[in-house]
Amino acid sequence: MYKFLLSNGCSFLTKRKDVNSHTGVLLSDHYGYEHIGLASSGRGNGRLVVTTKLFFYENPERIKDTFVLIGWTNPARIDYINNYHKDREGEWGEAWFSLRGKKPTWDTYKRVHNHGDVMAKMLREILELQDFFENLNIKYCMYHSLNILPYNKKVKLEKLRLFKDKINKNNFYKLGEDSHQVFINSERERFTINKEDRHPNADGHFFWYEKIRTFIENNNLL
């Protein structure tokens, strides 16, 4: 019997000014689960993998009663644990920072690497977390929050497709085909906050949540 829903990703799985919900919260409310939010604005997939695994290592009792929702973000973001510090309550914790451009794009990463490398990095991270969940029998659903995996004719990606083929499509919503960002950009005036903030508004979250909920139920992920 599930009691919790853990969501992790970037700003698309966090609350923002005047937008008090997101896909993780909407799913938790729909199923009557307590929501555990680990997502952090502007952060990347490296942090996502580390913090998700650490949560279950630190809270092994949650393995049997927690459903996990993962929104993969732009793999051009490079995460670092900056330092360990005490918060206001005196508890020690990690501080993260990410190397990224003002407007994260594939070109951000290409300054020092290339598209083939960024694709390999993202596929490795997806498979790492997938294997972690399936080895521990943790129920989960993944999707693209931001960029869909690109195709770059300058890089031969035949062998990388072997990585992609190993991703469990039953648990990954429209791998390489759709993302939350692509969805809201299809009708920006309807689904984004405003011209200065192209994050999802309430409708942008709700209609994406409905797609994810339908996928979860059609694939018997819960």
SS (H, E, C) the chain: CCCEEEEECCHHHCCECCECCCHHHHHHHHHCCEEEECCCCCCCHHHHHHHHHHHHHHCHHHCCCEEEEEEECCCCCEEEEEEEEECCCCCEEEEEEEECCCCCCHHHHHCCCCHHHHHHHHHHHHHHHHHHHHHCCCCEEEEECCCCCCCCCCCCCCCHHHHHHCCCCCCEECCCCCEHHHHHHCCHHHHECCCCCCCECHHHHHHHHHHHHHHHHHCCCC
Burial 91-107 (b: 16+ CB within 10 A, else e): eeeeebebebeeebebe
Does the pLDDT at position 10 exceed 80? yes
- Comparing 93 with 222, which gets the higher pLDDT? 222
- 78-86 and 92-99 beta bridge pairing: antiparallel
Interval 50-67 mean pLDDT: 96
Does the pLDDT at position 92 exceed 90? no
- Comparing 15 with 37, which gets the higher pLDDT? 37
Per-residue pLDDT at 96: 57
> What does the pLDDT look like over 127-175, one tens digit per residue?
999 999 999 999 999 999 987 765 544 555 677 788 889 999 999 999 9
Does the pLDDT at position 79 exceed 60? yes
Interval 35-47 mean pLDDT: 91
Per-residue pLDDT at 157: 64
4-218 fold: Rossmann fold (3.40.50)
Average pLDDT, the chain: 84
- Comparing 207 with 81, which gets the higher pLDDT? 207
Per-residue pLDDT at 143: 97
Does the pLDDT at position 69 exceed 90? yes
CB 127 within 8 A of CB 166: yes
Per-residue pLDDT at 170: 98
Amino acid symbol at 60: P
Domains of the chain by residue range: 4-218
d(CA 101, CA 108): 6
| pTM: predicted TM-score of the whole model, two decimal places | 0.86
Per-residue pLDDT at 16: 83
> What does the pLDDT look like over 188-205, one tens digit per residue?
889 887 887 789 999 999
Which range has the worst mean pLDDT, 12-16, 50-54, 157-161, 175-179?
157-161
Per-residue pLDDT at 147: 75
Interval 205-222 mean pLDDT: 97
